[in-house]
């Protein structure tokens, strides 16, 4: 009888441990989804900033100015990596590089969290 009780207790502990691992996995998967979402927003913002500069959007518009400021802040570390002749070319290349680096870093981080 005691052996049967110990067997049931061990089985119960194994089930609880499996539930704990499942919960931890779900938590990491949720974090990976959040990282992918943030990465998509950052990359999208940089691409919108490139588009606004190339198409010469009206900088007097508050929304355009806010988007360009956010893009400039995100691409700050990549500013002037490449020197181009015109402002449009410089912004397109350097912001594009920033978007690529953020996309790769976000994808790698999300992959690590999913394991």
Mean pLDDT of residues grouped by 10 in the chain (115 residues)? 59 59 70 94 97 94 96 92 90 95 96 89
Q: At what angle do helices 62-74 and 2-54 cross, to 10 degrees?
A: 120
Instruction: Assess if residue 3 is contained within a domain.
Output: no
Nearest alpha-carbon partner for 92 in 107, 78, 104: 78
Q: How many whole angstroms separate alpha carbon 103 and alpha carbon 115? A: 19
Beta-carbon contacts of 101 under 8 Å, excluding residues fewer than 6 positions away, are 78
pTM of the predicted model as reported, rounded to 2 decimal places = 0.76
DSSP 86: S
Q: CA end-to-end span of the chain, whole Å?
A: 41
Q: Determine the structural domain holding residue 62 and report its residue range.
A: 28-114
Angle of CA points 43, 45, 47, to nearest 5°: 70
Instruction: Assess if residue 55 is contained within a domain.
Output: yes
State how many domains the chain has: 1
Tell me what pLDDT residue 75 has: 94
Instruction: Assess if residue 91 is contained within a domain.
Output: yes
Tell me what pLDDT residue 58 has: 93
């Amino acid at each position: 009888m005691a052996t049967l009780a110990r067997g049931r207790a061990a089985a119960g502990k194994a089930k609880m441990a499996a539930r704990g691992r499942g919960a931890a996995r779900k938590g990491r998967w949720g974090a990976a989804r959040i990282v992918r979402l943030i990465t998509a927003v950052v990359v999208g913002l940089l691409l919108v900033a490139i588009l606004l500069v190339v198409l010469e959007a009206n900088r007097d518009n508050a929304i355009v100015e806010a988007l360009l400021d956010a893009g400039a802040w995100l691409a700050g570390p990549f500013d002037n990596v490449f020197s181009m002749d015109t402002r449009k070319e410089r912004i397109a290349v350097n912001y594009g590089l920033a978007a690529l680096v953020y996309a790769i870093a976000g994808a790698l981080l999300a992959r690590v969290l999913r394991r």
